[in-house]
Structure 1
């Protein structure tokens, strides 16, 4: 077993002044605690080697303390949001969830990795598995307001660089646990850089062959309680190098949750809206060949009946274009679509943007809202691939460059 750590200094102050503070009368003890306890941010880079259960055991043992902390915070968050005990919610969720068959069929090594994390950290298997069913748990809760990821894809044009980039927005209790896993290469897979937090196998990532994957939830699309969950899709893709094989995989599997995937394979970029019943490629037709996405369907009409107003085939005045996701998509479009050449500086400016104060692309921690920009990534997939990453919102943290070992 080979294990090493490296702290990338990404410490910055939390700019809570950007949010309107509640009056003294309105400020609760809970809100005061949340504000005062926001941690300074460090991006931890940790290297793991091996496969399957061995990878998970290293992960669980190394992050045993942090995983225990996140388990506690997750349970408190569930209790606070749902006003129910976490054990009761977990029991009901796993009575609904039937993902094990798909996970073992498509990614048996990753199932073993999750089992290793649970054993190494001394946590219950279901508790660790629910961390790795992040999007699927959101789908189960059916809350459309908690999802705010913003993604950009830039292919190589006339020999230029190719980038895919994302603001990864998740729950505030994860702040302070920003982690970059470096998964060493084997004969079967390339080296990988994976954004995550302790206990979770992946949020997004890239590999040393120039393959990268970012994604964002599309809650409105039909889901499957027996499909392949998002984290497992991501890690499966990152273990591959062949474009055709990857695209066949993405377009043929049964997806567990409605999701938009931006896939970068060296100089090419592909955007797929995936639901339980179909996968549709989205291309806005820009001259610069860029793509971008937020959290609503643009081309896939496999929409849940109770989200019918989001069907992209409906007449324009029935679509809720003043909602958060549409406003953020407009901000990305304005900043990216018409540029002759899109550089990583243009991408970073877009990911830092707060053009609409109530619906920003970049989200600071707000104790009254369930979601913030956990990290921002810009992956360069041509030439010698490398990653630029922040811990926390990019408006508050500088991007640091991380390269591959080889």
Structure 2
């Protein structure tokens, strides 16, 4: 039997509207490949997986006014992702099966947890999408970084997990932000290759493409730059998504839709990139979101809406200095320039909150700094990779 390590890490006590709540970042370590990896995940987090499925179903029924089990059935009549997953990431399909078996859950209950963006596309709801991402290349002796505030539905609070996948002959060690039952939200590998993501709902989607979580894991399983860049630009994407990819000292940003992948490069003197939740360069738009078309004149775009205001906040900080370090990055991730449209979102029972915040350092000794919940409520904690000796 493969060894399973469970560590219970950072406990955070915060005060929100006069009520004290405890937020925990749980860290888990798994080994092996495919089905065995998922089986460990499912068995170790069995209770938490059951709890988040119950919470997901309650939230879905409330939001859509329809029994969640009926919603799942209808969703999988639309969602034809199995072939793409088996083609591009067959070991991850087996991992999902392992999670389901280990947690004693129906396969589709686990699969839907791993189709966050694809389900958002299905219900066509813009209100939940508020992630903010940043990328900083190595310059002037400073390391490279990618980072983001991962904003999710309120029901996910308390389910923050940092998952370590031990290295194998075919896989570098990985540190992955996630929640129970989910294979990835973002992540970094020991070779200094990582990815952060932002939903771009306005872009066209594909009901038969490769879903976002599986793309994330494929990226952080990579060690070769050319292979990785070829993959992200040729795979059929299931959901409109922005990928900020760090490859050692370099940073790449791609806006991906069903029919097009376009690199975004603002050509800043310091090389930084940043993104929120609207298209900046990709015009493969859904007809109902034409007002977000990047080809429109600036005065015709909804520049006072949430995503544009957050982009302005992070852009201001990423372009204000020749050299950007993690102090400036954290300032951006904690910012609330517009109180109604902040980069850092408290859990006030509205639509979404900052589930966790990460800062990944890619060069030297790669590491990930994580805080469970909004980053203005507590301090980041650093997690490093294990020794290869």
Q: TM-score range by the shorter chain?
A: over 0.9
Equivalences for 1:202-351 in 2 at 5 Å? 202-351=184-333
Contact 2:210–2:235 (CA<8 Å) still a contact in 1? Answer: yes
d(CA) in 2 for partners of 1:123, 1:224? 27
Contact 1:287 1:338 in 2 (8 A): no
2:62 to 80, 90, 99: 80
Q: After the TM superposition, which of the residue ranges 70-79 and 332-341 deviates more from structure 2? A: 332-341
Q: How far did residue 388 of structure 1 move?
A: 0.5
Q: Describe how 1:343-362 pairs up with structure 2 within 5 A.
A: 343-362=325-344
In 2, Cα distance between the equivalents of 1:16 and 1:247?
45
1:372 to 353, 358, 365: 353
Q: Structure 1, residues 335-354: CA drift from partner, whole Å, max 9, x if none?
A: 11131110100000110111
- Are 2:110 and 1:110 aligned? no
Q: For 1:297, what is the secondary structure of its paired residue?
A: coil
Q: From the superposition, tell whether residues 159 and 379 of structure 1 become closer, same or farther in structure 2 (CA, over 3 Å).
A: same
Give the one of 393, 396, 406 matched to 2:374.
393
| Contact 2:13/2:21 (8 A) holds in 1 | no
Task: Determine the structure 1 residue equivalent to 2:176.
Answer: 194
Q: Distance in 2 between matches of 1:135 and 1:259?
A: 8
Answer whether contact 1:387 1:403 (CA < 8 A) is retained.
yes
Alignment of structure 1 residues 12-91 onto 2, 5 Å: 12-16=13-17, 39-91=21-73
CA contact (8 A) 1:10 1:398 kept: no
Over the residues paired in the alignment, what is the CA RMSD in angstroms?
1.0
Cα pair 2:270 2:322 within 8 Å, conserved: yes
Match of 2:152 in 1: 170
Alignment check: 8 A CA contact 2:140 2:323 kept: no
Distance 2:287 2:157 in 1: 35
Q: 2:142 aligns with which of 144, 157, 160?
A: 160
Runs of 4+ in 1 over 4 A off after TM superposition: none
Q: Which has the higher strand share?
A: 2
* Structure 1 residue ranges without an equivalent (≥5): 18-35
Q: In structure 2, what is the equivalent of residue 130 of structure 1?
A: 112
In structure 2, how many angstroms separate the alpha carbons of the residues matched to 1:12 and 1:286? Answer: 39
8 A Cα contact 1:203 1:231, kept in partner: yes
2:12 pairs with 1:11: yes
The answer as to whether partners of 2:242 and 2:253 remain within 8 angstroms in 1 is yes
Residue 392 of structure 1, CA deviation: 0.6
Secondary structure of residue in 2 paired with 1:41 = strand
Q: Offset of 1:123 from its aligned partner?
A: 0.8
Shift of the alpha carbon at 1:39? 4.5
TM superposition shift of 1:158: 2.4
- Superposition deviation, residue 7 in structure 1: 1.9
Maintained 8 Å contact 1:136/1:229: yes
TM-score, normalised via structure 1 length: 0.94
> What is residue 22 of structure 1 aligned with on the other side?
none
- TM-score (normalised: structure 2): 0.98
1:353-390, Cα deviation, whole Å (9 max, x unpaired):
111100000000011x1200000000000011011000
Alignment gaps of 5+ in structure 2: none
Q: Is the 8 A contact 1:273 1:300 kept in 2?
A: yes
Q: 1:354 aligns to what SS in structure 2? A: coil
Whether contact under 8 Å (1:172, 1:370) holds in the other structure is yes
Q: SS where residue 13 of structure 1 aligns?
A: strand
Deviations 1:163-186 (A, max 9, x none): 000000001111111100000000
Superposed CA deviations along residues 55-109 of structure 1, whole A, max 9, x for unmatched, are 0000001111111111111110001101100011111100000000000000000
In the alignment, which residue of structure 1 is the partner of 2:386?
405
- The 1:105/1:228 distance shift into structure 2, 3 A limit, reads same
When the two structures are aligned, how many residues end up with a matched partner? 386
